[in-house]
Every structure is written in structure tokens, then in C-alpha cells.
Structure 1
């Protein structure tokens, strides 16, 4: 009984660390997009500077989970919970890296004006923020329906990304600088699309946790 209590306490700590990681990723996406809309170099640099904390949180999750496996010897679903926590933390760390990539795109645009008002990219960002939040909630609640929702939301992100590319390629940039900016904005769309893919990966991990079968939601 004591061992079970210790395991549950450790598992709860793992969950709280994942919640913290998810919150940081969500804020990083929001901050990087806000910096992009204002071409705010200082805001972008703050996103870059805060990224190492996500790496530290991932390391804490791996250390804690490894200790739980070694000392508590969990089996079946308890073991899957820890292994899934490892995978989710890795996906969140990559999502944070992609938010940093958006911030770095802002730094390359610093001192310039946007060639067009941003409409679809902020829509993508809002959707991937929701996916980030809901993917973590699906793990905490072991909610398969919410996990499968990641696939539908990912399709919506892909559709917006396609329209972003069509609009950018339809532009006739007035200069090479405008052309390079259009390319950077298309990269930002790609980074957001990749964040959505990682949120969908988290959904897959949750389905695996609950059913012991891993679907492919990134189709």
C-alpha cells in the first residue's frame, strides 16, 4: 500500500510537470505570434531566452519517470503512463523549439514592415494553442474522444496552411526583400503545422495509453 501511494505521488508530479510544459509551450506560441504581428524583436528574444526551461522540464520528467520505473517496478497501464509521459514531454519540447523558430523568423524581419496584414497565420496559431491545451487535458483525463479530436483539428490546421501558401505564392513581391519575407511567412506556417502534428502525436499516445493500441492520427 505504501508503494502504491509513493507511485501515485510520483505520477501526479509527472502530470504536473507535463501541465507546466504544456502551459509554457502555449505561451511561447502566443508570444512568438504576437511578436510576429508587431515585428517585435524584444518579444521574440524573450521567447528564445525562455526555451531552455522546457528542456529542463523534459529532463526532470525523464529523471522522475526513470526513478519510478526502477523503484516501483510498475506494470501494464502504470508502466504505459510513464512511457507515454516520456513521449509527450518530447513532443512538447519539439513544439517549444518550433515556437522558437517562429521567434527567430521575427528576428530576421526586425526593422521591416509586413508585406500584408496577417489573418490566417494567427488563426492557425490560435488553433494549435487549443490543440496543445486539449492534448494535455486528454492525457490527464485519459480521454480518448478528446485525443481523436486532435486529428480533426490537425486537418483544419492543414487546410489553413494550404490557403496561406496559396495566398503567399499569389503575391507579386515588389522586391527581393518582400520575396524573402513571403518565404519566411510560409516557414512560419510550416512551423505551426508541425506543432499541430506534435499535438496529434500526443493524441496518439493517449489512445495507446488507454487502449494499448497505437493509431496513426497523422494521416
Structure 2
């Protein structure tokens, strides 16, 4: 097999593994927030247990990237592709960690009753998942425009966080018995905000991969 052809096949395999990891991470976000909304302890535990598979995929992709660097002679553009792959799986792994932390909140609230049904928190999660899908689609299609549009969606996520913060702050000020759970729910929203930031980071790496330029979308 031509070495160059084999190299590109290896890059395509990397892409498939990254997308597989992305599917698992998106599912973890969904199930983590759903477990919290329903206070479903078993669902939360499944998210926690499933994190090992996400971590294993990250290690696999990183190892494959290092092998390509060691055994091939990649050009500058290829180096950006390999470097971007390593950065993306790091962001995906951290998103998975945030989903696990949300699931752990479900375990901590086991036996309690939510202060109110979760409405805006799942909206934050949906937006964060949408951003992640957009970022990975931009990665696959090398679409800088889609990557750049992540900044606007990140602003919407930030706006939802501020709204939830104000709402929970009011509930805690009104009744001190709500403080413990209110703080825990705020931390969950902070995790979702960070997930959106990581999705934006992936967009930044896509821009770098395609153009060679570094652009900060979190401004």
C-alpha cells in the first residue's frame, strides 16, 4: 500500500474514533441531566460507569496520533490535523467528566425532592449538546463558518446560566433551607456552561486545523 494512502486511511480511522467518542459524550450529557431531572440514581450510576469507555477512547486516539507522528513524515497541514485530534479528544474527555459530575449530583440528592421541576437546565444541556454536534460536524467537514458560529450559541448558554443563577439566588434568599440544593444545582449549571466552552474550544481547533490561525471564540 502506498504510504501516503495508508497515512490518510489512518487519519480517517482517527476521525471515526473521535466521532464515536463524541456520541458517547453527548449521551452522557443527556443521561446525566435526565438522571438529575428525574432523580434517577441508576441512570446516574450508568453515566459514571460509562466514563471509563470515554477515557479509553481518548487514550486510543492519543496513542494512534503519537504513532503517526513517529512512523510517518507528516506535512505541516497533516501535523495540524493530528494535533487537532489530540486536542479534541482532551476536550471530549473533559466534557465527559462534567457529565459524570452532574450524575454525581443526582446521587447526592437521592431521597430529596427538587426545589422545582428542571426546565432551563435541560435547555442548557440541549444547547450544549447542539454545540458539540456542530463542533464535530465542523471538524469532519473542515467548515470554519460553522465553527465560528459556536460563539453565538455559547452566548445563549451564558444567558441561560445567568437566568438560572438569579432564579436560584432568589429561592435561596427566600428560604435558607433551599441553600444546599440551590448551590448544588448552580454547580450543575456551571458544568453545563463549561461543556459549552469545551465545544467552543473544539471549534477553535477546527479553525486552526483548516487555516493555521488561532482564533479565540470565547470573547
TM exceeds 0.5?
A: yes
Q: How does 1:52-63 map to 2 (within 5 A)?
A: 52-63=52-63
TM-score scaled by length of structure 2: 0.97
Distance 1:56 1:73 in 2: 27
TM-score (norm. length: structure 1) = 0.97
Match of 1:164 in 2: 164
Residue aligning to 2:119: 119
CA distance in 1, matches of 2:140, 2:80: 13
Moved more, 164-173 or 85-94: 164-173
Q: Which residue of 2 aligns with 1:200?
A: 200
Q: State the alpha-carbon separation in 2 of the partners of residues 26 and 100 from structure 1.
A: 12
**Separation of aligned partners in 2, 1:131 and 1:206:** 13
Structure 1: segments with no counterpart, 5+ residues: none
Corresponding residue number in structure 2 for 1:131? 131
Aligned-pair CA distance for 1:134: 1.2
- Tell me the number of residue pairs that the alignment of Structure 1 and Structure 2 aligns: 218
Consecutive aligned runs of 4 or more in structure 1 exceeding 2 Å deviation: 172-176
Q: Which residue of 1 aligns with 2:210?
A: 210
Q: Deviations over 1:66-121 (max 9, x none)?
A: 11111111011111100000000000000000000100111110111101111110
In 1, Cα distance between equivalents of 2:131 and 2:106 = 23
RMSD across aligned positions (CA): 1.0
Quick one: distance in 2 between partners of 1:23 and 1:5? 27
